[in-house]
Structure 1
Amino acid sequence: MKITSVTAVPIRARRHTPMVATQGSIDVSEFGVVRVDTDEGLTGWGEIAMSWGRVGRALCRDVELTLGPTVNGLDPRDLPRCAAAMEQRLPLPMDGGHAARAGVEMALLDVAGKAAGLPAYQLLGGRARDTVPVAWPIPWGTVEATVAAAEEAVAAGFPTVKLKIGRAGRLDETVVAAVRAAVGDDIAIKVDANMAYRSANQALAALRPLERHGLQLIEQPLPPRDLDELARLRDRLETPLLLDESCWELRDVGEIVRRGAGDVLNVYVTEMGGPAQAVKAFAAGEAAGLVGLLGSQCELGLATAACAHVGVVVSNLAYESDVVGPLRYVRDIVHEPPVIAGGVLVPPDRPGLGVEVDPEAIEAMRC
């Protein structure tokens, strides 16, 4: 089997409510849909999902002008060979290049699964669990709005809520205290600073008061390359430190381990360059005794399916993941997104990624 064509279409997906955090506010996601065709008539689909920096239209051009010609003529079932070719042409540190590569790799995995008649999780190593536990992320908002969102999440069966922090003054502490009082002690609360602080001392002053209310995890309080400062902070916190922006490619895992900068890895399928690359990142962490969870760019149904397949495969998934994107949007690009209910994400059992694209939706959302 040979790849004959790789194309990408940019789309805009409107969210029910904006995501507001340190980086800004997003009410519409500009993503991309990748299509891989083969000489045997099989078609695979992938999704470009990146919320910041270079997004849909620019990354679709990366696919059509650089990545597509690179893998054209290769066998889509040879994922390592295709991934190596894309790595050589578009290295991960390129702004957004990881998401473009991830969209192509998803489509290749979709084709490979369809050719074998197997769901993607079987090609990635087989299941370690049946479902992926998930949390409900809550953006910046008033105390009252945040408490209401947390209560709705608990009522929907989510065992963990994730609160965005990083605001000046004592507002973060007030919000965390109010949410804890509202949801009780049986619901886990994790907080995400999105690199809001500039030093370990500043972060410690802001985070210590929050720890009094019982936190599950503290996510990325400092800039991504401040690993030594993160290590200093980690030694002084009681709560495990979750690294997100510091963990965007496979080599980052080695640096985190070498410097003792974190306790938990936040691995994104989109940021690692695809499902197979994400599985490698989890394995690298496991070899060093680290656990992880799956991060999210608020993906639509295609990429959420890819995340679900990764999540049931990796053995060191230790906390609830953030992959609940399809619940955030007015319309999806697949007919039936993966099921998210009762605090878990369920991987489709059909061959490949296991979801069917909706051509009318893609055309309507095209930008």
Structure 2
Amino acid sequence: MKISNLQLTVVGIPRHTGFVSKHVIVEIMTDEGITGIGEMSDFSHLPHYSLDVADLTAVLKNILIGKNPFDLSLINKELLSNFPETMFYYEKGNFIRNGIDAALHDLCAKSLNISVADLIGGRLQEKIKVCYPIFRHRFMEEVEENLEVVRQRFKQGFDVFRLYVGKNLDADEAFLDAVQSEFGSKVTIKSLDFSHLLDWKQAWQAVKRLSAYRFQMVESPAVQNDFEGLAHFRMKVDHPVSEHVWSFRQQYEMIKHDSVDIFNISPIFIGGITSARKAAAAAEVAGKGCLLGTTQELSIGTAAMAHLGSSLTNLTYTSDPTGPELYVADIVQNPVKYENGYLIVPGRDVPGLGMQLDWEKIEQYKVPNLSWGNVSVHQLQDRTAQTKA
């Protein structure tokens, strides 16, 4: 079996906040008539530049056409040469490699008539505990808005939440106090996520202030790649510390400096299922736990994470992939399912990732390119369309 063609389709899907996230649907075709699908998820991030999709398509065709899709290691090596790691959290080359790698896994599993989870080693679990994100407060009036999000999502079965913090600590504290007062132990705050907005000393001061409230861990409490600062922070707080993995050099440095307790691993940030499995194995060797991170994918990207997570032996913490719940629509016929706060791993009865494209939805949300126009920095950081000053 040989790869015969590749197609990239850009869609812009609004979130319930109003922010429009752009994703690239990947289709890899073969000479045997089997097509694998993947997702380059949520390109609408800083840094504030976009890619030329026609040029990207030509480059990827040059790499892929004629290859055996089962040559995953060889193809990933060539992809890494063309789209290298840069030690940056939102490196778009990682997004590109992730979409291609997911489509290759989907393709290979389909050709064997098995699920991706079975292709990469088998399932240890059929569902993964996840949390719902509460986006960062900039203004005090957003506290009640976010409290209402908790109320509505709690009714749907989500009882664990992740809180982005660091821009308005008064609002963060008011929100935590309101949640604790209204829900008590029925709702868990998984983490305070600083997203590298503060240096480690500022984050430490913030955590000391917010420690009057219950939460399980602290995420990204230092500027990017400040491994020593992250280690200093970890030694000063009582809570476990988590950080994303966005390059193998960065993960090596975090292990070397003993900077974290938990590795936040997501295919989108490390460049695909293949790389995410390596990162999870490195974490296991280092004696660290893992959780599945997210950039808020659609169902294809989320399904890829579900298959990955189902096969990991050291997935020891509540994970983050609730992206499909954040959008007003999806581009597959059978979106991933959530039940009682768990992401359900697509079943063995449908091969590959278990997703089928919905071309009516794709045509509805299809856009010509990945550019953003006048989207502001705070919108890209906070994933909101609000225009408050």
TM-score range, shorter chain: over 0.9
| 1:85 paired residue number | 78
Cα distance per residue 1:85-123 (max 9 Å; x no partner): 111222122840000111111111111011000000011
| 1:98 paired residue number | 94
Q: Which of 311, 314, 321 lines up with 2:312 in the alignment?
A: 314
CA distance in 2 between counterparts of 1:4 and 1:159 reads 46
Paired residues for 1:282-293 under 5 Å: 282-293=280-291
Is 1:29 equivalent to 2:30 in the alignment? Answer: no
| Contact 1:7–1:63 (CA under 8 A) maintained in structure 2 | no
| 1:64 paired residue number | 57
| Contact 1:134–1:344 (CA under 8 A) maintained in structure 2 | yes
| 1:38 paired residue number | 30
| 1:7 paired residue number | 7
| 1:53 paired residue number | 46
Q: Which of 292, 295, 304 lines up with 1:297 in the alignment?
A: 295
| 1:151 paired residue number | 151
CA distance in 2 between counterparts of 1:285 and 1:68 reads 34
Comparing 133-142 and 30-39, the one that deviates more:
133-142
| 2:214 paired residue number | 214
| 1:21 paired residue number | none
Which stretches in structure 2 are left out of the alignment for 5+ residues? 368-389
| 1:23 paired residue number | none
| 2:336 paired residue number | 338
| Contact 2:194–2:203 (CA under 8 A) maintained in structure 1 | no
| Contact 1:138–1:163 (CA under 8 A) maintained in structure 2 | yes
CA distance in 1 between counterparts of 2:74 and 2:288 reads 28
CA distance in 2 between counterparts of 1:61 and 1:285 reads 37
| Contact 2:221–2:233 (CA under 8 A) maintained in structure 1 | no
CA distance in 1 between counterparts of 2:111 and 2:246 reads 30
| 2:103 paired residue number | 107
- TM-score, normalised with respect to structure 2: 0.87
Q: How much does 1:366 deviate?
A: 1.4
1:203–1:140 distance in 2 versus 1, CA, 3 Å: closer
Q: How much does 1:35 deviate?
A: 0.8
| Contact 2:225–2:250 (CA under 8 A) maintained in structure 1 | no
Q: How much does 1:254 deviate?
A: 1.5
| 2:201 paired residue number | 201
1:61–1:284 distance in 2 versus 1, CA, 3 Å: farther
Is 1:124 equivalent to 2:120 in the alignment? Answer: yes
| Contact 1:3–1:36 (CA under 8 A) maintained in structure 2 | yes
Q: Which of 106, 131, 137 lines up with 1:135 in the alignment?
A: 131
Cα distance per residue 1:328-364 (max 9 Å; x no partner): 1122110111111211111212101111011122222
- Residue type at the aligned position of 2:23: F
Q: How much does 1:152 deviate?
A: 2.5
Q: How much does 1:306 deviate?
A: 0.5
1:341–1:164 distance in 2 versus 1, CA, 3 Å: same
| Contact 2:69–2:104 (CA under 8 A) maintained in structure 1 | yes
Cα distance per residue 1:125-171 (max 9 Å; x no partner): 11121111110111134222222222333332223111111124522
CA distance in 1 between counterparts of 2:117 and 2:108 reads 11
- Residue type at the aligned position of 2:58: L
CA distance in 2 between counterparts of 1:14 and 1:39 reads 36
Give the number of equivalent residue pairs: 356
Q: How much does 1:41 deviate?
A: 0.6
| 2:232 paired residue number | 232
Is 1:75 equivalent to 2:73 in the alignment? Answer: no
- Residue type at the aligned position of 1:28: V
- TM-score, normalised with respect to structure 1: 0.92
| 1:22 paired residue number | none
Cα distance per residue 1:194-229 (max 9 Å; x no partner): 11212x222111111212212111111211111101
3-state DSSP of counterpart to 1:203: helix
Q: How much does 1:310 deviate?
A: 0.7
- Residue type at the aligned position of 1:365: Y
Q: How much does 1:61 deviate?
A: 4.6
- Residue type at the aligned position of 2:291: L
CA distance in 2 between counterparts of 1:96 and 1:179 reads 36
CA RMSD of aligned residues (A): 1.8
Cα distance per residue 1:175-194 (max 9 Å; x no partner): 22222222212432121111
Which stretches in structure 1 are left out of the alignment for 5+ residues? 19-26
